[in-house]
């Protein structure tokens, strides 16, 4: 690989980086004595969050005036998507629905899964193993998702000092006791067997020679419960799931995002309308059960925050579910990952996994001083970083004019020995060293980045939504994490609820068959509301892909 | 070139002036070239935005990910969104008397065609020694091959240029799966945890927590004993063991 010198630290940043170097020995000595920066009390957590976390600010928010969650506040970028007209091709189907939809569908299957990420793929495997014919329709390629970008790990209570009950308590506290306890209970009790399932699929966990899993802390955990595959945990999970799904004969329709659900006269989901991109023509798919696994909203860039998310994370599923009458919860709640890359700018917003902090890397201000315990829940850490940079003016300014704080990665090797960084973070290490930047020697500048949609479509523990025949799993859903997710619970969630959705959908398909005539009557009430609210007809959803530079929308 | 902060490149046969200091992807988007296919995660792990490029007047050409590679003057860029690589659909079963190594080579006998030209390793945009792991698979060193290929993003550049027509990324995937399934010991502590969970009524204990008043459960949360960072695996236990169901 060519070494590109432009990615090493410029002189203006080196000065502060040297201060980090200077304080490192003393910080190390404190750590070795077992002294850590104090954890905040619950009341301090609340105070920092209310004052500095973007979720708690009124700016950039709007109250929904249309649809099943009317009165709920959401970021304006999302409100524009929820209070929007269907795309032109769907509207023409709607106006002409008897003719086109009465014809033979373009494709027929038992279980149709919208989205080819981790939740969708886990659902596909489970449904196929239950004997259903399974089709995945995906906007980009199968596997293209936030799942593959998950670096740090997956939580599950498997250690001697741990139990699903202890995990339950951590999840609730991390979510500030706003989670749906039924969903949390399902998540934590399925945890250990999910690890075993992955092991049997050939997943390469980080293990000791005996086969014992290596575990570590994540923000907000009371036990070391985080299992990883280097720093490409999500990628490894995705590769393994995808291989299994292919083996089981799951078929995929790629570059075909869903743009609308199809329902019968009883209000049951019986299929979807897909759009072939970029050409724009529609494809009508009939299915006995549908699973929504479309992921989250990071690429909506609320308040211009950079994002760690995949290109396709544009909340398509939320828009589709919302106008089908499904209520959303906690949708105003975004997770800003505390350590997105702030420099170099080409990597702005991309992730520096929490595993770095799990192994001891500290967050420092421009003087090289600690200002937060390195394993607070994510939203709390994010709020304190924003405070440190805005209120106290202790951030480091990059040449591009963005603020950052240091993530002192080199500290890891002083704690755990030489070679740890290369071994534990093979992905990030190779990526940075390829650009001439050695993360074993230099700290990296970080700033919070839009990372995860905490809320979403409401489901039961069986992943069923309020609409018969429609299931949902993964980031598109809400309730498990309440208002804040802990690290490692997203990968667990997509597998636990993906599998439950696959099982439920296969059972539903076998029990209830094809259903009635496919139509779009579920849109009647919503379109009426849009008209009354005088929503501009130019405003349509889903958007499918974000728009950058001078690129025109799809 | 007209503007100092712009460079001239050739993308997919067309000449463009793009802003310098950007990745190839964001430079092209900046001037209005949008992507539906050929772009994925934008974070360097999905391999969707693979391109081959050569700087005019130079002989050597390179593979890169558009979302990672800075744009350079006089780049000639060929997008490579898809490559028809051989992929075997197989289970992870291991018939009696066969080794994982035998299975992998059986599914991908092409790995024996490596002529050690090294083009794959030279091209790999994420710095993997592809030729190295092909040799490891050949020699039955599945563990070594698994970890050398571990950060592969399936961009296909290696397979594209291989004179032996070896589908390296897919052979590596099969090697990793067989290694993980058959050669890595299962986690015994996990087996014990699963047994314990079957015996104990977890839902009853969680139910007790769920019936607590908010102040009670918050107090319980704040009293959590935190496993020390440096505790050796499987040794530390909390003083209060009710929540971990040990009395």
Q: Is the pLDDT of residue A344 over 80?
A: yes
Sign of CA dihedral B110, B114, B115, B119: positive
With a CB cutoff of 8 Å and minimum separation 6, the contacts of B46 are A143, A144, A148, A310, B40, B153, B154
Which residues of chain A are within 8 Å of residue B5 when distances are taken between CB atoms?
A: none
d(CA A110, CA A104): 16
Of the candidates B130, B26, B68, B121, the one whose C-alpha atom is nearest the C-alpha of residue A4 is: B68
With a CB cutoff of 8 Å and minimum separation 6, the contacts of A524 are none
> What average pLDDT does the segment A456-468 reach?
98
B116 CA: distance to closest CA in chain A (Å): 19
Q: Would you state the pLDDT for residue B82?
A: 87
> CB neighbours (10 Å) of residue A538?
7
Per-residue pLDDT band for A97 (boundaries 50, 70, 90) equals low
Q: Would you state the pLDDT for residue A4?
A: 41
User: Which residues make beta-bridge pairs with A470?
Assistant: A290
What dihedral angle (degrees, nearest 10) is formed by the CA atoms of A426, A492, A457, A241? 70
d(CA A122, CA A130): 13
Residue A245: both structure tokens together: 């799904």
Whether A366 is catalytic: no
User: Which residues make beta-bridge pairs with B18?
Assistant: B7
Size of interface A-B (CB pairs under 8 A): 243
The mean predicted confidence, pLDDT, of chain A is: 94
With a CB cutoff of 8 Å and minimum separation 6, the contacts of B75 are B7, B9, B10, B24, B53, B54, B55
Is there a contact between A211 and B238 if contact means CB atoms under 8 Å apart?
no
Mutate to test the interface with A, among B80, B87, B108, B151 (most CBs of A within 10 A): B151
Residue A12 belongs to what H/E stretch?
Answer: helix A11-32
Which residue in chain A is spatially nearest to B200 when comparing CA positions?
A163
Cβ distance B173 to B142 under 8 Å? Answer: no
Whether A217 is catalytic: no
B238 CA: distance to closest CA in chain A (Å): 7
Q: State the catalytic residue, choosing from A244, A329, A337, A543.
A: A337
A460 CA: distance to closest CA in chain B (Å): 17
Tens-digit pLDDT profile for residues A223-252: 999 999 999 999 999 999 999 999 999 999
Mutate to test the interface with A, among B21, B26, B32, B46 (most CBs of A within 10 A): B46
Is there a contact between A552 and B202 if contact means CB atoms under 8 Å apart?
no
- A160 → closest Cβ in B40, B173, B189: B189
Tens-digit pLDDT profile for residues A473-531: 999 999 999 999 999 999 999 999 999 999 999 999 999 999 999 999 999 999 999 99
Q: State the catalytic residue, choosing from A87, A223, A310, A357.
A: A357
> CB neighbours (10 Å) of residue A517?
14
Q: Would you state the pLDDT for residue B210?
A: 97
Mutate to test the interface with B, among A202, A351, A360, A451 (most CBs of B within 10 A): A202
Q: Would you state the pLDDT for residue A59?
A: 86
Q: Are strands A328-329 and A456-458 parallel, antiparallel or unpaired?
A: antiparallel
Is there a contact between A549 and B31 if contact means CB atoms under 8 Å apart?
yes
Three-state DSSP state, B49: coil
Q: Which residues of chain B have pLDDT under 50?
A: 1
- A148 → closest Cβ in B45, B89, B190: B45
Alpha carbon B68 to chain centroid, angstroms = 15
Is there a contact between A222 and B224 if contact means CB atoms under 8 Å apart?
yes
Is there a contact between B224 and A255 if contact means CB atoms under 8 Å apart?
no
Is there a contact between A177 and B30 if contact means CB atoms under 8 Å apart?
no
User: Tokens 């290694």 identify what position?
Assistant: B179
Mutate to test the interface with B, among A142, A243, A425 (most CBs of B within 10 A): A243
Is there a contact between A158 and B187 if contact means CB atoms under 8 Å apart?
yes
Give buried/exposed letters for A357-371 (b at 16+ CB in 10 A, else e): bbbbbbbbbbebbbb
d(CA A36, CA A511): 56
User: Tokens 């939740």 identify what position?
Assistant: A119
| ipTM exceeding cut-off 0.90 for this assembly | yes
Is there a contact between B127 and A430 if contact means CB atoms under 8 Å apart?
yes
Which residues of chain B are within 8 Å of residue A177 when distances are taken between CB atoms?
A: 214, 217-218
Cβ distance A152 to A354 under 8 Å? Answer: yes
Burial class for B210, CB neighbours closer than 10 Å (0-12, 13-18, 19+)? middle
d(CA A43, CA A462): 35
- B42 → closest Cβ in A215, A311, A431: A311
Per-residue pLDDT band for A387 (boundaries 50, 70, 90) equals very high
B112 CA: distance to closest CA in chain A (Å): 23
Which residues of chain A are within 8 Å of residue B125 when distances are taken between CB atoms?
A: 1
Of the candidates A336, A37, A358, the one whose C-alpha atom is nearest the C-alpha of residue A221 is: A358
B37 CA: distance to closest CA in chain A (Å): 7
Tens-digit pLDDT profile for residues A5-57: 444 788 889 999 999 999 999 999 999 998 989 999 999 999 999 999 999 98
Q: Would you state the pLDDT for residue A72?
A: 95
Q: Is the pLDDT of residue A1 over 80?
A: no
Phi, psi of A365 (to 5 degrees): -85, -175
Of the candidates A129, A139, A138, the one whose C-alpha atom is nearest the C-alpha of residue A249 is: A129
Residue A137: both structure tokens together: 């329709």
> What average pLDDT does the segment A307-334 reach?
96
Q: Would you state the pLDDT for residue A58?
A: 84
> Mapped to the 3 state alphabet, what secondary structure does A181-212 carry?
HHHHHHHHHCHHHHHHHHHHCCCCCCECCCCC
HSE-CB at A34 with a 13 A cutoff on CA atoms is 5
Cβ distance A311 to A299 under 8 Å? Answer: yes
Phi, psi of B83 (to 5 degrees): -145, 125
d(CA B206, CA B217): 11
d(CA A544, CA A312): 7
């Amino acid at each position: 690989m060519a070494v590109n010198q432009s990615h090493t630290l410029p002189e203006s940043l080196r000065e502060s980086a040297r201060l980090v170097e200077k304080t490192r020995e003393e910080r190390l000595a404190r750590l070795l004595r077992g002294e850590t920066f104090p954890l905040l009390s619950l009341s301090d957590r609340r105070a920092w969050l209310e004052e500095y976390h973007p979720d708690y600010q009124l700016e950039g928010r709007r109250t929904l005036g249309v649809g099943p969650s009317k009165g709920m506040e959401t970021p304006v970028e999302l409100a524009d998507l929820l209070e929007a007209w269907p795309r032109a091709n769907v509207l023409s189907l709607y106006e002409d629905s008897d003719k086109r939809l009465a014809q033979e569908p373009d494709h027929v299957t038992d279980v149709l899964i919208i989205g080819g990420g981790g939740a969708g793929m886990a659902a596909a495997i489970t449904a196929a193993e239950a004997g259903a014919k399974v089709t995945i329709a995906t906007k980009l390629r199968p596997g293209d998702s936030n799942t593959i970008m998950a670096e740090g790990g997956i939580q599950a209570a498997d250690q001697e000092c741990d139990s699903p009950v202890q995990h339950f308590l951590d999840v609730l506290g991390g979510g500030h006791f706003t989670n749906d306890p039924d969903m949390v209970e399902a998540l934590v009790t399925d945890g250990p067997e999910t690890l075993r399932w992955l092991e049997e699929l050939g997943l390469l966990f980080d293990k000791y020679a005996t086969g014992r899993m290596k575990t570590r802390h994540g923000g907000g955990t009371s036990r070391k419960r985080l299992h990883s595959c280097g720093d490409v945990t999500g990628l490894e999970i995705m590769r393994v799931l995808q291989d299994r799904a292919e083996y089981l004969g799951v078929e995929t329709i790629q570059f075909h995002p869903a743009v609308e659900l199809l329902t019968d006269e009883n209000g049951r989901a019986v299929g979807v309308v897909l759009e072939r991109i970029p050409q724009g023509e529609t494809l009508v798919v009939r299915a006995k059960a549908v699973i929504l696994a479309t992921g989250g909203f990071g690429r909506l860039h609320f308040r211009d925050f950079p994002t760690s998310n995949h290109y396709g994370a544009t909340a398509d599923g939320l828009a589709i579910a919302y106008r089908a009458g499904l209520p959303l919860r906690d949708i105003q709640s975004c997770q800003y990952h505390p350590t997105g890359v702030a420099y170099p700018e080409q990597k702005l917003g991309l992730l520096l996994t929490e595993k770095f902090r799990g192994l001891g890397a500290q967050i420092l201000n421009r003087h090289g001083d600690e200002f937060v315990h390195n394993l607070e829940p994510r939203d709390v850490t994010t709020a304190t970083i924003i405070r440190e940079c805005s209120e106290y003016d202790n951030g480091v300014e990059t040449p591009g004019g963005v603020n950052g704080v240091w993530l002192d990665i080199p500290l890891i090797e002083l704690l755990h020995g030489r070679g740890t960084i290369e071994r534990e973070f093979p992905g990030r290490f190779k990526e940075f060293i390829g650009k001439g930047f050695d993360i074993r020697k230099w700290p990296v500048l970080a700033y919070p980045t839009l990372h995860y949609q905490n809320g979403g479509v409401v489901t039961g523990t069986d992943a069923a939504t309020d609409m018969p025949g429609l299931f949902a799993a993964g980031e598109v859903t809400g309730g498990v994490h309440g208002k804040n997710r802990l690290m490692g619970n997203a990968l667990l969630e997509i597998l636990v609820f993906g599998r439950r959705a696959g099982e439920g959908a296969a059972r539903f398909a076998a029990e209830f068959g094809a259903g009635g005539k496919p139509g779009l009557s579920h849109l009647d009430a919503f379109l009426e509301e849009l008209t009354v609210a005088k929503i501009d007809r130019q405003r349509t959803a889903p958007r499918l892909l974000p728009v950058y530079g001078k690129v025109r929308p799809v | 070139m007209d503007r100092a902060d712009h460079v001239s490149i050739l993308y997919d046969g067309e000449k463009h002036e793009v802003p310098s200091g950007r990745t190839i992807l964001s430079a092209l988007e900046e001037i209005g070239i949008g992507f539906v296919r050929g772009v994925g995660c934008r974070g360097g792990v999905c391999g969707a935005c693979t391109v081959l490029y050569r700087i005019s007047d130079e002989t050597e050409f390179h593979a890169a990910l558009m979302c990672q590679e800075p744009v350079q003057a006089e780049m000639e860029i060929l997008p490579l969104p898809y490559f028809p690589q051989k992929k075997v659909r197989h289970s992870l079963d291991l018939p009696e008397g066969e080794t994982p190594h035998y299975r992998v080579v059986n599914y991908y006998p092409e790995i024996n065609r490596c002529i050690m030209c090294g083009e794959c390793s030279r091209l790999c945009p994420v710095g993997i020694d592809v030729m190295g792991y092909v040799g490891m698979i050949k020699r039955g060193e599945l563990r070594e091959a698994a970890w050398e290929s571990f950060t592969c993003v399936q961009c296909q550049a290696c397979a594209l240029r291989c004179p032996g027509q070896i589908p390296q990324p897919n052979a590596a995937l099969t090697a990793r799966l067989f290694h993980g399934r058959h050669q890595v010991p299962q986690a015994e502590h996990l087996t014990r945890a699963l047994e314990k969970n079957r015996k104990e009524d977890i839902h009853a204990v969680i139910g007790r927590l769920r019936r607590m008043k908010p102040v009670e459960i918050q107090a319980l949360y704040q009293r959590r004993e935190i496993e020390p960072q440096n505790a050796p695996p499987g040794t530390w236990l909390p003083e209060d063991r009710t929540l971990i169901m040990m009395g």
